[in-house]
Structure 1
């Protein structure tokens, strides 16, 4: 009987030993998901413009590892489209490098097509500004509800399809040239939507203007109060917004940008910075050279 008990105990010890060895075996290492950043082109229907529109989306590396992200909206120059920031200005590569070095927080970046609209609400019906060219011309001015398209359709689409922090504190807008005008106009007139606003060599107008453009953005004094970044800077409450303005000293828009700077210097803002870049022209080389500074403004980590 004792022998049976000893044998049973021995078998139990062997079984426990086998279980222990099995439990201690290393688990397979899961493959890293979305280790690299990604970009995608999206086509969606805009209720404000009554047509399909395109936008590009940048998702940071390891997108699935985080529950929610801040969002930066970037607007393109005149005659260009949603590809400008990523293809020509190489924003993706700069964002990847700054995220990898932990200089900026991972963020979603959205580049929507705004056509040649200057981002204003100019007409309930889609169309073209008389005298600006024929439909299909690269420079023809587009009429429509483009501010609503950005502030309602684009933001709603991004917030419902991606992992965004749906708060003004984590929503930023910036642009180059025409897109800089649009970002300042939309950002400053919608302080409850955007906490950071950037005008990067913005196309600002203080004197004589091309007549079709004036008819598009400043058709009346009352509409100008809502659309003109200089008048908005003077009239709006900006104490909860951070604003970044820059322009090359060789840029034709430098005089108008300096006028906006004078207005903003007198205003109470959360933060404000103005950079005049020596030798800078109104071109892709200029914006590319400043991309790291732009991204640092929008997304710098606390310890930078």
Structure 2
């Protein structure tokens, strides 16, 4: 009886092993259900006359809609700048050993996070009911310059104050969480080298905290884009209010709302793509491999095999973790 009869492999002899891929019937069944539902939705969108796609196309580039779109973009950008800068200042105050600074920051966050943004928008719009005019001068002394509150705070500025100051409270907690995610040894080492507290924050702590700060900040920016529609309550003609003015006149509510929603979806998609690549940029120093690209995710969906994350970012010869 030789070794092959006993089931043993003779040294130097190669056996051809046929690899059988794992079957995933449930995955294909789920994909089939999704395709059927998508086709049903597409059929309803095309053949339901209530959608009035010709009206949607005309409304998309209506001058009133485009003006509202510009106002929405301006309001979102300025409110986020105010929110991010205010959030950084408040976060630093919260982490300050000075109890007056930390207490003031805590009170601000408590007030602005504890009241609805809609209430804050209306409050800023009617600030003249409390102070008819605002002035600059010596505290408890003479006034040098004064002007009407309604003149100084028009509708756009009221919306900006309501959204920006509210956003600062949320950004303060996001930034504080990011700063506290950096090991304290980094700060101690910077102080040992003679760096000031401000320089340590700017050059050591904040760059490392960005990988924690960026994802929720991107979400807040997308949320701000949509929350800006609340400014319609104080009659600011942003994107939604522009659409509201049109369908109040034409009574074509559904087509106009679809056109407005298309613009919101387009802007949100652009912000999402920008957030994705910013996250990839700040993830380089923290992860051995970068997050997968959308093309890699799509390829993984059809092949069922994991795609190496950030493969194009690996420097040849540094596969152990070196990136460009």
TM superposition score category, shorter chain reference:
under 0.3
The structure richer in helix per residue is 2
Give the TM-score, by structure 1 length.
Answer: 0.22
Give the TM-score, by structure 2 length.
Answer: 0.21
Larger Rg: 2
Relative contact order, CA 8 A, sep 6+: which one is greater? 2
The structure richer in strand per residue is 1
